[in-house]
Amino acid sequence: MGMPSMPELLIILAIVVLLFGAKKIPELAKGMGSGIRNFKKAMKEDEEEEKAAAAETKSEKQVEQKSETVASAKTEDKKEA
């Protein structure tokens, strides 16, 4: 079953107008648009949080590696003394 043809779309549109009224349709469209906008904004914020968390984890690992390097250098200095 394919896409509805033009007469079928007009019948559906007429039913929607009868059910909701001509004044209510723009309000519904506005509500759907703001909902989609908020959804996209939330998705974008989640991606930014994930990137920030990944960067933080990476920097923590670098700090741990540096502290391990310093600790091993101190151990070697004690062995030489």
Average pLDDT, rounded, for the chain = 84
Helix (H, G, I), strand (E, B), or coil: what is residue 52? helix
pLDDT in tens, 47-73: 999 888 888 888 777 777 777 776 676
24/79: higher pLDDT? 24
- The count of other CB atoms within 10 Å of the CB of residue 3 is 6
Angle between helices 24-80 and 6-20 (to 10 degrees): 90
pLDDT of residue 70: 66
Over the range 4-40, which residues count as b (16 or more CB within 10 Å of their CB) and which as e? Answer: eeeeeeeeeeeeeeeeeeeeeeeeeeeeeeeeeeeee
pLDDT above 90: residue 45: yes
